[in-house]
Amino acid sequence: MVTLGNRIAHSPVEPPAVVVDRAQAAPLMVAGALYSLQQLKKLLPLNDRTLAKWKAAGLVVYSPGTKRSFVFADDVFTVIRKLGAERLEGRPL
């Protein structure tokens, strides 16, 4: 509804939806980059339970003598692919 002075104009046309071109959108994670677990939780809305599952599935977590823990993006990608393949096994195409 748009107000034009004393008149109210009703438009039957909806505004266009925002379309994101995945090819030109910035990636959430960059291959080869190092992320803290806190950054990972913010980038990919994750909880502690999901991270525990990923660690059990083989996610390598680095703690270089500090309180913070880090992961490489490539390791995250590998675990996601592994869990996705396990999930798809046994399902008909």
Q: What's the residue count for the chain?
A: 93
Is 92 a residue whose pLDDT tops 60? no
Output the CA angle 22-24-29, nearest 5 degrees: 70
How many other C-beta atoms lie within 10 A of the C-beta of residue 75? 16
DSSP element (H, E) containing 2: strand 2-4
| Angle subtended by helix axes 48-56 and 73-88, to nearest 10 | 80
pLDDT band at 58 (very low <50, low <70, confident <90, very high): very high
- Residue ranges covered by each domain of the chain: 32-93
pLDDT attached to residue 67: 87
Model pLDDT for residues 7-49, shown as the tens digit of each residue: 545 555 565 566 666 666 666 788 889 999 999 999 888 899 9
Mean pLDDT over the full length of the chain: 79
pLDDT at position 60 over 80? yes
